[in-house]
Amino acid sequence: MSVEDDRLRPTPLTREFRLSAIVSPAGGFSPSSMISEPQLAAGSLKYISQRGGYVALVLNASFLAFISYWLYHNIEFADLASQLKQIPLTAILVAMTMNVFVLLFYGSRLSTLLDGGLFSGFLIATMGFTFNSLIPLRAGEGVKIYFGHSYFNHAIGGISAAVLLEKLYDLTAITILSLLILASSDSNIIDPRMLIAAALVVSIVFGGMFFFRRKGVIWSLPKSRIIESMRLDAIFQQAERLIADHSAARAAFFTASIWMTNVCLVYVAFRMLLPEIEFGFIHAMTLLIIGALAIAVPASPAGLGLFEAGIVAYLVNAYGVQKERAISAALAYHFSITAPHTLIVIGFLGIAFFRWLKQRSTA
């Protein structure tokens, strides 16, 4: 079986590829009196995913209800509305512009990992950010895999490995920024023990990955009828090939560019939103880490509520900023980093929809 297995590459007739074709052993269920083991496993997975959606909905509703209760008893909404009206539009426009460059760096890194074009990498990365903003539980990562596979014909094993490598590179960047924060201040926000454990895990993962790259080690899956029927052998081979062949130096360069631009974005945005406080680059790194950790928690869409709560707690405790003013600054910053990729994806989907209508009208 070749690495680029034709079974996992869609043809023009399969643009409407469905995720069930990946989960189920043969792309669907055929009516039969006897249920095979692969079909039973796929049915169980579908059952769990459906119930998991209900659980996620209940948890998010409970969390948002708690946030609303806290806001009702602790925030003066007249003052909050007044603070929101005073947000400088220039700060939002500058932050949105800088965020577009961040998206370009994300797209460049993904295209480097996939050895593809900048447009495809940019659009896949932007699609993932948008769906992470709309759907809880980090569902945007799955959308990136599905979209890259079905629309740009990337091998499913390769793009899955690319998404995983993205997270490893970002985790490394977060660890380095956290070390810089600890070395530059006596901040108690980051627990050094957790940071040491995270640095150790990242070192082991990257050390093992580059050891395999250098030695040319390729693991082999045991021959199993279930594995072959679910096509996991081809997926693992595609992932092996991407990990072994991707340019680590270029991926590291774009990762550094992403996080340096993010630090500058936070610094510029909060210097303009809160000009009365002494806000430096170390403080920008701290706020960036708080926001990254809040968004990483698989809670509400885009970490809504939890993201603002972390920023507000830092601004109130570290600078004594009024709660209403801190909330308005956090909301402005969150909007600035969410609106660009959402607008881009809406524009892309709108163009795709009109092309689809045009094709139907001419068919």
Residue with tokens 């580059």: 210
Confidence of residue 265 (pLDDT cuts 50, 70, 90): very high
Share of residues in the chain with pLDDT > 90 (%)? 23
Residues 95-133: pLDDT tens digits?
A: 999 999 999 999 999 999 988 889 999 999 999 988 887
Q: What is the 3-state secondary structure (H, E, C) of 240-275?
A: HHHHHHCCHHHHHHHHHHHHHHHHHHHHHHHHHHCC
Phi, psi at 221, each rounded to 5° = -80, 145
d(CA 225, CA 168): 32
Return the number of other C-beta atoms located less than 10 Å from residue 30's C-beta.
8
Q: Give the C-alpha separation, 168 to 199, whole Å.
A: 11
Please compute the mean of the pLDDT values over residues 219-248 and round it to a whole number.
63
38 contact partners, CB below 8 Å, separation of at least 6: 24, 25, 26, 226, 229, 230
Give the pLDDT confidence of 333-357 residue by residue, as tens digits: 999 999 999 999 999 999 989 988 8
Q: How far apart are CA 162 and CA 5, in angstroms?
A: 17
Q: What is the mean pLDDT of the chain?
A: 75
Tens digit of each residue's pLDDT (9 = 90 or more) over 307-340:
888 888 889 888 889 888 988 999 999 999 999 9
Between the CA of residue 17 and those of 8, 11, 52, 125, 322, what are the distances in Å?
11, 10, 23, 20, 51
Above 60 in pLDDT, residue 200?
A: yes
Q: pLDDT-based confidence at 38, cuts 50/70/90?
A: very low
User: What pLDDT shows up at residue 34?
Assistant: 44
Is 269 buried (19+), middle (13-18) or exposed (0-12) by CB count in 10 A? buried
> What's the average model confidence in pLDDT over 64-80?
69
The residues spanned by each domain of the chain are: 89-362
| Count of residues making up the chain | 363
Q: What is the pLDDT of residue 160?
A: 87
